[in-house]
Chain A
Amino acid sequence: MTRINRDQLVALAKSQIVETTPQALSQRLRNGSSPLVIDIRERDEFEQGHVPGALFIPRGFLELRIEQHAYDPATPIVLYCAGGVRSALAARNLQEMGYSHVESLIGGFGGWRSAGLPVTVPRIMTAEQKVRYSRHVLLPDVGEEGQTKLLDAKVLLIGAGGLGSPAALYLAAAGVGTLGIVDFDVVDLSNLQRQILHSESWIGKPKVESAAARIKDLNPDVKVVAHREPITSANALRIIQDYDIVLNGSDNFPTRYLVNDACHFLRKPLVDASIFMFEGQVTIYHPGAPEEGIGQGPCYRCLYPDPPPPGEVPSCAEAGVLGVLPGIVGSIQAVEAIKLVLGKGEPLIGRLLTFDALEMSFRTLNIRRNPACPVCGDAPTITELIDYEQFCGMPARE
């Protein structure tokens, strides 16, 4: 192999990629044709100011994390660094991964700033936030750094019902900066026995609106994104793509398989839970994050390869559920999500926690990835979202 020096390598990279100017990028962002703008500098550089809306992925982690943010290899991506050199080399690597629309910003952030374009300076905790989160900041495993991570975190809740209610309240109180909520339902009187996000004055109104109002009242730091639509194969990837972590509190099997598959394809951790009468189950299905030292765990299909036939497993609507039960189980989901954001502790990956309120017992059972799993196994046969109603033996949705 011929040896080339750094200048030759940079020149080679630049000859193989597309570059764009700060003015052209700014124009595109204003037109709403938003490419995914990624700041690949180090954290201290990013914290001193960055292009508005840019995603921060330091150069060293770019290839390892890119799929979490750009699942589609045709996603338009603009990379920038301080001066346009690191981003040119990085753009070439992304092209090698199959990303066909990657560009590097000429002159980098320096060029952007000297063109007089707007700059965002990231969050420094306000005096009020320092008081609000003081009991977190005191914890050595959280501190200001951890609290900032929470404020920057984006968590999606599937369902604003029994499990989603306590999870949403605790995540909002903890200062998780963006909470997405997917729910198509309206508040019903029979919900109020356990769904503590909602109250009597909201009966008949959309759960996402009730949730947004309650969360805003609890903590104005939290941005609530309301997805008032059923999650389906058509929208799941689009909705989930924007979040770091997904909490599943859905009430049916098709949605459980759908969310599992979508999270695996997008490489998002899924904090999953289900409840029935007096009993609950919680675990994390994690596709693995080698850069954080997290290995690949099992997925929902490893544990439950096939759904039960319709009618074989009674639902809570038929059999009932203790109102406090989702309070406990959903709170455990919130704990696990916060631990994942902070990167602290032992996440519930490869372990199924079961809770029996009548016995008042918790048990931890070991679960493993199935190498023959059709989604996350060694030779997957399901590589895109399918028709989950049909898979679960139900009539197709209109």
Chain B
Amino acid sequence: MPTVLIPTPLRRLTANQAKVEVAGDTVDALLHNLEAGYPGIGERLLDADGKIKRFINVFVNEDEIRTLQGADTPLAAGDRVSIVPAMAGGAHQP
């Protein structure tokens, strides 16, 4: 199964696990299976239409999926899927 690397802000939804193994032949299938295993994480990653939110980047191994086949990018056992959200740090004062 591919391994999903969970970013710090989402780890409370994966019982503080930084890495989880999730089945899925494509990125899209994997993200839906991730939600099935860890309820609540899906809405942090996907919008109402089921598309990956525009401030979240997904990488398969070292490459960003928009440079591959997007959500249809095929996955093999042993692939590493990284979820990288926008972070700003700080205190949120504009």
Where the two chains meet, the residues of A that have a C-beta atom closer than 8 Å to any C-beta of B are 161-163, 249-256, 274-279, 281, 303-308, 310, 312-319, 321, 326, 352, 354, 356, 358-359, 363-368, 370, 389, 392, 394, 397
A356 vs chain B, min Cβ distance (A): 7
Inter-chain CA distance A253–B59, complex, in Å, is 22
Task: Report chain A residues within 8 Å CB of B44.
Answer: 312
Please report whether the interface of chain B is mostly helix, strand, loop or mixed according to DSSP: loop
Besides the known contacts A310-B92, A354-B84, A365-B63, 7 further A-B residue pairs in the complex with CB atoms under 8 A apart: A161-B90, A274-B89, A321-B89, A365-B84, A366-B59, A367-B64, A389-B94
The 3 A-B pairs at the shortest CB distance, nearest first, are namely: A251-B90, A317-B91, A306-B54
Task: Report chain B residues within 8 Å CB of A255.
Answer: 94
Pick from B7, B44, B55 the residue with the most CB of A within 10 Å: B55
Inter-chain CA distance A252–B66, complex, in Å, is 26
A330 vs chain B, min Cβ distance (A): 11
> B49 on the interface (CB 8 Å rule)?
no
Tell me whether A251 and B7 are in contact in the complex, defined as CB-CB below 8 angstroms, given that A365-B84, A368-B64 are known contacts.
Answer: no
Task: Report chain B residues within 8 Å CB of A314.
Answer: 9
> B15 on the interface (CB 8 Å rule)?
no
Assess whether A252 is in contact with B8, with CB atoms less than 8 Å apart. Answer: no
Task: Report chain A residues within 8 Å CB of B59.
Answer: 365-366
Inter-chain CA distance A275–B85, complex, in Å, is 11
Name the one of A250, A278, A304, A305 contacting B90, with C-beta atoms under 8 angstroms.
A250
Assess whether A358 is in contact with B18, with CB atoms less than 8 Å apart. Answer: yes
Tell me whether A313 and B86 are in contact in the complex, defined as CB-CB below 8 angstroms, given that A276-B8, A397-B94 are known contacts.
Answer: yes
Assess whether B88 is in contact with A277, with CB atoms less than 8 Å apart. Answer: no
Inter-chain CA distance A152–B62, complex, in Å, is 37
Name the one of A313, A368, A394 contacting B88, with C-beta atoms under 8 angstroms.
A313
**B59: nearest chain-A partner, CB-CB:** A365
- What 1/0 mask marks residues of chain B from 44 to 63 whose CB sits below 8 Å from any chain A CB? 10000000011101010011
Task: Report chain B residues within 8 Å CB of A358.
Answer: 18
**A190: nearest chain-B partner, CB-CB:** B91
Task: Report chain A residues within 8 Å CB of B53.
Answer: 306, 308
B24 vs chain A, min Cβ distance (A): 20
Assess whether A315 is in contact with B18, with CB atoms less than 8 Å apart. Answer: no
Where the two chains meet, the residues of B that have a C-beta atom closer than 8 Å to any C-beta of A are 7-9, 18, 44, 53-55, 57, 59, 62-64, 66-67, 82, 84-94
Tell me whether A250 and B88 are in contact in the complex, defined as CB-CB below 8 angstroms, given that A279-B8, A366-B64 are known contacts.
Answer: yes
Assess whether A281 is in contact with B92, with CB atoms less than 8 Å apart. Answer: no
Task: Report chain B residues within 8 Å CB of A305.
Answer: 54-55
A-B Cβ contacts below 8 A, count: 113
Assess whether B8 is in contact with A278, with CB atoms less than 8 Å apart. Answer: yes
Pick from A161, A162, A367 the residue with the most CB of B within 10 Å: A367
Inter-chain CA distance A175–B8, complex, in Å, is 36
Task: Report chain A residues within 8 Å CB of B93.
Answer: 251-252
Assess whether A366 is in contact with B63, with CB atoms less than 8 Å apart. Answer: yes
B72 vs chain A, min Cβ distance (A): 18
Name the one of A304, A352, A359 contacting B55, with C-beta atoms under 8 angstroms.
A304
**A367: nearest chain-B partner, CB-CB:** B64
Assess whether B90 is in contact with A317, with CB atoms less than 8 Å apart. Answer: yes
Pick from B85, B86, B89 the residue with the most CB of A within 10 Å: B89
Tell me whether A352 and B84 are in contact in the complex, defined as CB-CB below 8 angstroms, given that A252-B92, A275-B89 are known contacts.
Answer: yes
B75 vs chain A, min Cβ distance (A): 16
Inter-chain CA distance A88–B33, complex, in Å, is 68
**B86: nearest chain-A partner, CB-CB:** A304
Assess whether A370 is in contact with B66, with CB atoms less than 8 Å apart. Answer: yes
A272 vs chain B, min Cβ distance (A): 11
**A280: nearest chain-B partner, CB-CB:** B87
Assess whether B87 is in contact with A313, with CB atoms less than 8 Å apart. Answer: yes
Task: Report chain A residues within 8 Å CB of B92.
Answer: 251-252, 310, 315, 317-318
A20 vs chain B, min Cβ distance (A): 45
Inter-chain CA distance A252–B90, complex, in Å, is 7
Assess whether B89 is in contact with A303, with CB atoms less than 8 Å apart. Answer: no
Assess whether B18 is in contact with A359, with CB atoms less than 8 Å apart. Answer: yes
Inter-chain CA distance A34–B44, complex, in Å, is 52
